[in-house]
Amino acid sequence: MTFPNFSGAFERRMHFAATLFLCLIPVFLLFARGAADGAVVLIALLFLVRSAVHRDWSWAREKDILILLVIFVLMNVFVSPFAEYIGKSFGRSLSWLRFVIFYAAVTRWVLTDERTIRRFAIVLLCTLGVAALDAIYQFFSGWSLLSGQPMTGRLTGPLDRPNIGMYLSKLGLPALAMASMLFAVKQSKKIFVFGCALSPILLIVVFLSGERAASVLTLLAVILILFSLFLTGGMARKVSAGLTVVGGIALAILLATSDRIWGRVEDLASVVSDYADSIYGQLAMMGLRFFGDHPLTGAGMGNYPMVCEDYTALGLTNVPCHPHPHNFYVEWLSDTGLIGTIPFTIFMAMLYWMGIKVLFGPRETRLLGGLYLGVLVMSLFPFSVTQSLFSNWPAILAWTSIASAVAALRFATRKAV
């Protein structure tokens, strides 16, 4: 039952507005981080209004969203009230709801029809193409054409910090997943071809960026994609073999000809070989120490830097205090304890299982399964230095990436039924 004063035209206008905000998020992430967060909130609010109008809250009972809602309740009932810094924790735990509703809105409302998915995929690919070309211009000229940002050791592209590799990978893979899905269900071949043509440019920028985490995770995602092509069989298997050879040669040439990139590889090898004594290992161990002190509820959401400063003041540590432990699994343990980490691990397992079923399912959607799992690797791989999954820019990037990929997978599986 719906309110009689709300017509189908009003529903279409709300959907159009939500689609517009979603299309603007990739642009806002480049130039206006606050606006990107605002777009996430507006999409969530529009979805809640739409649910209230139609009196349709069935989405809240679906397993993946229900788990996220349970986590939200646990955060605010059992974690934040017992945090070291209660106000800080509540500020983060209460505002985390926007990501839950945003994820629900994108996967259950905004990206549920072929036309909207096609439009968003085109906008996303075009935005990524412009950002990548700007980064290439910066590589040769020393500054960004779009933002004027100088290159100081690592590429930034239009961004104000060296995250362009992670930006391109985390949004490029779901864009390709949507393009692959449209191709698999015979809705659009041109977008898939466009995405395939753009992919080498995105990969070049990712590996030239000097971002170690982005490069390694992208390489793992590419391996998954090649494996999915191999599983597809036929001509796709030959394409997989050819791309593996060409990609291997290209990577070897890059490492042999770029002292800067080779230096980053050596830095990565140094960190991995002596992880416990590296800054990242020390930050992770500090987070695990906070978890050990508060195993059930954690130290509180967003409390990591302040508790670290308290430990430093008491002479209990000399580790430099960062905003987070640079591993989001450790961050979950440190901030929310077992109460938050266990259900979120279940949520991640559900997402992975969805992709595995598609990867080993019908041949026409196996590439989609590989791309989808690549998206999850970029945001949810446990053995990597990561950004925070709670703070604004990296969280918006991760949730946009994951939600878009989940929407593509859901659309494809619905079509297959």
Give the SS3 label for residue 412: helix
**204 assigned to some structural domain:** yes
**107 assigned to some structural domain:** yes
If one counts the domains in the chain, the total is 1
Residues of the domain holding 15 = 8-416
CA dihedral 99, 45, 173, 72 (to 10 degrees): 20
DSSP H stretches of helix in 279-391:
279-293, 304-313, 328-359, 366-380
List per-residue pLDDT tens for the chain, 417 residues long.
445 556 678 889 999 999 999 999 999 999 999 999 999 999 999 999 999 998 999 999 999 999 999 999 999 999 999 999 999 999 999 999 999 999 999 999 999 999 999 999 999 999 999 999 999 999 999 999 999 899 887 899 999 888 999 999 999 999 999 999 999 887 778 999 999 999 999 999 999 888 888 999 999 999 999 999 999 988 888 988 998 898 889 888 888 887 777 777 777 777 777 777 788 888 888 999 999 999 999 999 999 999 988 888 888 788 888 888 888 899 999 999 999 999 999 999 999 999 999 999 989 899 999 999 999 999 888 877 777 778 789 999 999 999 999 999 999 988 543
Q: What is the pLDDT of residue 21?
A: 98
**25 assigned to some structural domain:** yes
**378 assigned to some structural domain:** yes
Q: Which residue has the tokens 């139609």?
A: 54
**199 assigned to some structural domain:** yes
Q: Are 136 and 164 in contact (CB under 8 A)?
A: no
156: left (phi over 0), alpha (psi -120 to 50) or beta: alpha
Angle at 274 between CA 270 and CA 280, to 5 degrees: 90
| Residues 16, 17, 18, 20, CA torsion sign | positive
- Spatial distance between the Cα atoms of 235 and 242, rounded to a whole number of angstroms: 11
Q: Are 371 and 228 in contact (CB under 8 A)?
A: yes
Of 370, 350, 346, nearest to 358 by C-alpha is: 370
Of 41, 113, 101, 18, nearest to 65 by C-alpha is: 101
Q: Which residue has the tokens 């994108």?
A: 106
Full DSSP string of 26-79: HHHHHH-HHHHHHHHHHHHHHHHHHHHHHT--GGGGSHHHHHHHHHHHHIIIII
**Which structure tokens are listed for 185?**
């269900």
Q: What is the pLDDT of residue 417?
A: 38
Q: Which residue has the tokens 């990978």?
A: 169
Full DSSP string of 227-264: HHHHHH-THHHHHHHHHHHHHHHHHHHHHHH-HHHHHH
Q: Are 247 and 215 in contact (CB under 8 A)?
A: no
**2 assigned to some structural domain:** no
Q: Are 355 and 372 in contact (CB under 8 A)?
A: yes
Query: How many alpha carbons lie under 13 Å from residue 264 in its C-beta half-sphere?
Result: 20
Q: Are 298 and 336 in contact (CB under 8 A)?
A: yes
- Spatial distance between the Cα atoms of 85 and 212, rounded to a whole number of angstroms: 33
CA dihedral 197, 202, 208, 211 (to 10 degrees): -150
Helices (H) and strands (E) in the chain, counts: 16, 0
**1 assigned to some structural domain:** no
Q: Name the residue type at position 215.
A: S
Q: What is the pLDDT of residue 180?
A: 94
Give the SS3 label for residue 143: strand
